[in-house]
Structure 1
Amino acid sequence: MATSGKLVDAFYLFDEANRQDPNTEDFGGQTYPKELLYAHRMSDTLGTFAPNASEALQLAARCQHICRWEIPRDNYEQNRAGYLKWRQDLKKFHAQKAAELLNQAGYDQDTIENVEFLLLKKQLKKNEETQVLEDVVCLVFLQHYFEAFCSKHPEEKIIDILQKTWRKMSSEGQKAALELPMSKEAVQLIKRAIDNGAE
C-alpha cells in the first residue's frame, strides 16, 4: 500500500496513544500493550485483504480501537442494552480521538471526516470502504481472538457470535475467513454456524 508522510505521522501518533494501554497481551514471546498489538494486526490484515486500500481506510484500520480502554465495558449495564450502548459510545469516542490526532498530523477536514465516517461504520453493506473495514475487523477477530473467546463461553453463545459475525461480512470477507490459519476445532465451529443459518 502507498504511504505518505502524513500517514507515517498519524500512525506514529496512533501507536503512541495505544502504547499507553495498561492492558497487555503476550504474543510471539513478547508482551505488548493490548490495543497497540490490535492496531498492528488491523493494518497487517488490511494490507493482505485490500492491498490497494485508500489512505483514509488505512488510517481507520489503524485507529479502530484507539484508546479503547478509556471506556471500559464494566461502566455499562451487563445486558444487551448496556453492551449496545457501550459499542455506540466507543464508535463516537474512537472517531473523536482519531480526529484530534489526524488534525495534529496535518490532515485536511475532508480526510478526517472520511475516517470518522468509516469508524462510525456508516452505510455498512452499502459503502465499499465501510464494508472492507468491517471485513478486516471480523478477520482479525477470527484469526487472533476467536479461539481465546471459545475457551471462555459455551458453544451456544459461540455459534451465535459466529453467525452475527458472518452476516456482517461480504462474500469476499467470508471467503478470506475460511482461508485463515485456524485450528481444526475452530474451522468446524465456523462451518457449523454457517450450516445453522449464518448466511
Structure 2
Amino acid sequence: MGKAQIMQQNILNQVLNDIDQFNLNDPNRQFDELGNIHPKEFLYGKRMSNCLHDFMLSPPAQLQIAARAQHIGRWLSPRSDYPEGRAGYLKWRKDLGSKHAELCADIMRKYQLDEAQIEATCSLLRKEKLKQNPLTQALEDVICLVFLKYYFLEFANKHEQAKVISIVQKTWAKMSAEGQKAALALELPSPALRLVQQALA
C-alpha cells in the first residue's frame, strides 16, 4: 500500500470513528448478541459495516461511510414527531435520509474530502437511484441483511404474522439477486427462518 493509499485509509478511519463518536450519544440502549449493551445506533452502525464487508469485497470509501452513517443521529428525529399513517411515515423516512446525509457531510468536510465524494455519499444516504446506482443498491441490500440477521425476529414477535410476511416480501423486492442470495445464506433462528420461507413460498 502506497503513501497516498495509507493517507486515504487513515482519513476513512477517522470519518468512521467520528460517526461512531456521534452515535455514542444515542440515549437508547440495545444488547448485542453476546449480551453486552451499547447505544442503539452505535451498535447498528457497527453491524452495517460488518455486513457490508461480508457482502462485498473491498467496498469503496463512500459506501463504507454511508453504511456506517445509515442511522447517524436517528434518535434526534423520532417517528412520533410525524403524523400517523403512510404519508407521515414516508415523510419521516425522507427527512431522515436528508438529516443523515447532512450530519455525514459535516463530518466528511472536517477532513477536507472533496465535494464530489461527499455528494456521492449523501446520495447513497438519500437512497437516490435505487436499482440504477449499484452502490445505492448494495447499501439497500446490506440494510435488508442487517434487518433480517439482527432485528427481524424481535420485529416478528411484536406483529401479526400477515404483516410480518408482507414486510419480508417487500424487503425481498428491494434486494438485488446477490442480496437475496446472501439473505438465504444467513443462519436465522428457526422461527425467523420459517417466516421467511412462508413469505417466499
Shorter-chain TM-score range: over 0.9
Extract unaligned runs of 5+ from structure 2: none
CA distance in 2, matches of 1:7, 1:78: 39
CA distance in 2, matches of 1:155, 1:78: 22
Q: 1:29 Cα deviation (Å)?
A: 2.5
Q: Which amino acid aligns with 2:141?
A: D
**Residue 126 (structure 1) aligned to one of 126, 129, 132:** 132
Q: Which amino acid aligns with 1:19?
A: L
CA distance in 1, matches of 2:166, 2:18: 36
The percentage of aligned residue pairs carrying the same residue is 46
**Residue 33 (structure 1) aligned to one of 36, 39, 43:** 39
| Structure 2 partner of 1:9 | 14
Aligned to 1:22, the other structure's residue is in SS state coil
- Contact between 1:41 and 1:140, CA under 8 Å: does it hold in 2? yes
TM-score, normalized by length of structure 2? 0.94
Extract unaligned runs of 5+ from structure 1: none
CA distance in 1, matches of 2:119, 2:94: 18
Aligned to 1:151, the other structure's residue is in SS state helix
Q: Which amino acid aligns with 2:167?
A: I
| Structure 2 partner of 1:115 | 121
| Structure 1 partner of 2:185 | 179
Q: Does 1:162 align with 2:165?
A: no
CA distance in 2, matches of 1:42, 1:62: 6
CA distance in 2, matches of 1:5, 1:106: 13
Instruction: Provide, for residues 153-181 of structure 1, a one-character-per-residue CA deviation record: whole Å limited to 9, x for no partner.
Output: 00011011111100000011001101111
| Structure 2 partner of 1:104 | 110
Aligned to 1:126, the other structure's residue is in SS state coil
- Contact between 1:135 and 1:173, CA under 8 Å: does it hold in 2? yes
Aligned to 2:158, the other structure's residue is in SS state coil
Q: Which amino acid aligns with 2:60?
A: S
| Structure 1 partner of 2:28 | 23
CA distance in 2, matches of 1:51, 1:66: 24
TM-score, normalized by length of structure 1? 0.95
Q: Does 1:43 align with 2:78?
A: no
Q: 1:56 Cα deviation (Å)?
A: 0.7
CA distance in 2, matches of 1:30, 1:112: 34
Q: 1:105 Cα deviation (Å)?
A: 2.4
| Structure 2 partner of 1:146 | 152
- Contact between 2:153 and 2:191, CA under 8 Å: does it hold in 1? no
Please list every run of at least 4 consecutive aligned residues from structure 1 whose deviation after the TM superposition is greater than 6 angstroms.
none
Aligned to 2:71, the other structure's residue is in SS state coil
Instruction: Provide, for residues 11-41 of structure 1, a one-character-per-residue CA deviation record: whole Å limited to 9, x for no partner.
Output: 1110010000000001212110000000000
Aligned to 1:4, the other structure's residue is in SS state helix
Aligned to 1:107, the other structure's residue is in SS state coil
